[in-house]
Amino acid sequence: MAQRNKLEILERILDMCRSDGVTKTKIVYQINLNFKNAGSYLEWLTEHGYLIKENRTYKTTTSGLDLLQDLNGINSIIRDEETADSAEFSLNGL
Q: Are 12 and 31 in contact (CB under 8 A)?
A: yes
- State the pLDDT confidence band at 18, using cuts at 50, 70 and 90: very high
Q: What is the mean pLDDT of residues 76-86?
A: 77
Q: What is the mean pLDDT of residues 16-36?
A: 94
> How many C-beta atoms surround the C-beta of residue 74 within 10 A?
14
Amino acid at 61: T
Domain ranges of the chain: 8-92
List pLDDT tens digits, range 45-77.
999 999 999 999 999 999 999 999 999 999 888
List pLDDT tens digits, range 29-48.
999 999 999 999 999 999 99
Q: What is the mean pLDDT of residues 17-40?
A: 95
Instruction: Please report, in angstroms and rounded to a whole number, the separation of the first and last CA atoms in the chain.
Output: 24
Fold held by 8-92: Arc Repressor Mutant, subunit A (1.10.10)
